[in-house]
Amino acid sequence: AFNRKGKLSGVDTGFSGLNRQLGGLNKSDLLVLAGRPGMGKTALATNIAFQSSKKYKNENNDAILFCSLEMSSVQLTNRILAEEAKISSEKIRRGQLNNDEFINLVRASQNIQERKLFIDETPALTVAQLRTRARRIKRIHGLKLIVLDYLQLMSAINNSNNRVQEISEITQGLKAIAKELDVPVVALSQLSRAVEQREDKRPQLADLRESGTIEQDSDVVMFVYRQSYYEERAEPRKSGTETDEKFHNRYLEWQETLEKVQNTADVIVAKQRHGPIGNIKLHFEASLTKFSDLAEDYRKDDGN
């Protein structure tokens, strides 16, 4: 976790709770960050990549490689710009900025240009292609971290028509890259739809089990979960037989629950080969797709 000088032994995630739980992102580890669509996997991954590029900008081996198989580099950069400038990406896209926002955007853009954050948008990337790119960046710039969004979009070299086998080949290849280059690899992963069929929609390790050997090959498995996503879609409707009073009470109860979980997210550490499992609460600003540490008093109220 922490070395003798009290510094993190791994790469700083930019989130104090996550750093405490993991001791940072440790060299040669394969860390899987999984979640259902809409939970904020990509947002959390870009937040971590940008924060760690910020933290290490004055060191020599500080390059971050972000492989974006889903979004284009322009889309991803716009998202990082929005996070850094604290302006919604929708406003940036439409060009609806006032003078202060424009100044913030220019500053954020300059800030991003100073980072050694390399975005690769090659579709259907193979493990061999990733290894070649990562080796080159390590040789020229030094390499701190690889982030991959997301592993189900990678191509296996042996097209076996068995996707479970192919995913296993990919995760084993990613772990081999982490060990060879001595850097943490954060790989995003989808989760099965089984989550949606349950009443309790918090992800579990079992939700990864149909996806090859992801769980076995990874050193750390984390899930991103936002209860507010589901609560917002569960607004009560009055049933035909229900009294006004009963519906009113049910609606108030729903509002209270939504208020409690609004703008919060859970990062569930469900597996950690060399440390404890646990739950970290973060603040989530949906309009900026930005995660941040929760205020200290909120964490205390929540028991974290």
pLDDT tens by residue, 158-199 = 776 777 888 888 899 999 999 999 999 999 998 878 777 787
pLDDT band at 300 (very low <50, low <70, confident <90, very high): very low
The pLDDT score that the predictor gives to residue 268 is 93
Q: Are 247 and 238 in contact (CB under 8 A)?
A: yes
How much is the average pLDDT of 273-296? 85
How much is the average pLDDT of 139-147? 90
- Write a three-state SS string for 80-132: HHHHHHCCCHHHHHHCCCCHHHHHHHHHHHHHHHCCCEEEECCCCCEHHHHHH
Question: Which of 30-39, 89-98, 118-127, 270-279 is least confident?
Answer: 89-98
Domains of the chain, by residue range, sit at 16-225
Does 301 score more than 50 pLDDT? Answer: no
Instruction: Express each pLDDT in 7-43 by its tens digit.
Output: 778 888 989 889 989 989 999 999 999 998 888 898 8
The pLDDT score that the predictor gives to residue 282 is 92
The pLDDT score that the predictor gives to residue 235 is 67
Contacts 24+ apart (CB under 8 A), 201-207: 201/36, 201/225, 201/227, 201/230, 202/266, 202/268, 203/34, 203/35, 203/36, 203/268, 203/270, 204/270, 205/270, 205/271, 207/34
pLDDT: is 156 or 188 the higher one?
188
End-to-end CA distance of the chain: 18
DSSP bridge partners of 224:
267
Does 212 score more than 70 pLDDT? Answer: no
CA distance readout (Å), 33 to 14, 147, 268: 16, 10, 10
Does 46 score more than 60 pLDDT? Answer: yes
Edge to edge, the sheet with strand 290-293 lists 117-120, 63-68, 143-149, 185-189, 30-34, 220-225, 264-272, 278-285, 290-293
The pLDDT score that the predictor gives to residue 32 is 95
Question: Which of 38-42, 229-233, 288-292 is least confident?
Answer: 229-233
- Tell me the CATH number for domain 16-225: 3.40.50.300
Residue 215 token pair: 């769980």
pLDDT band at 234 (very low <50, low <70, confident <90, very high): low
pLDDT band at 4 (very low <50, low <70, confident <90, very high): very low
State the residue for tokens 């790119």: 133
Query: Is 140 buried (19+), middle (13-18) or exposed (0-12) by CB count in 10 A?
Result: exposed
The pLDDT score that the predictor gives to residue 181 is 94
Does 303 score more than 60 pLDDT? Answer: no
The pLDDT score that the predictor gives to residue 210 is 62
Average pLDDT over the chain, rounded to whole? 82
The DSSP bridge pattern shows strands 143-149 and 185-189 to be parallel
When computed from its CA atoms, the radius of gyration of the chain, rounded to whole angstroms, is 20
Query: Is 27 buried (19+), middle (13-18) or exposed (0-12) by CB count in 10 A?
Result: middle
Query: Is 218 buried (19+), middle (13-18) or exposed (0-12) by CB count in 10 A?
Result: buried
pTM of the model: 0.83
Q: Are 261 and 249 in contact (CB under 8 A)?
A: no
Three-state DSSP state, 78: helix
Instruction: Express each pLDDT in 239-257 by its tens digit.
Output: 778 777 777 777 777 677 7
Tell me the percentage of the chain whose pLDDT exceeds 90.
Answer: 23
Which of 278, 285, 284, 283 is closest to 293 using CA atoms? 283
Instruction: Express each pLDDT in 76-117 by its tens digit.
Output: 887 888 878 888 877 877 777 888 888 888 888 887 777 788
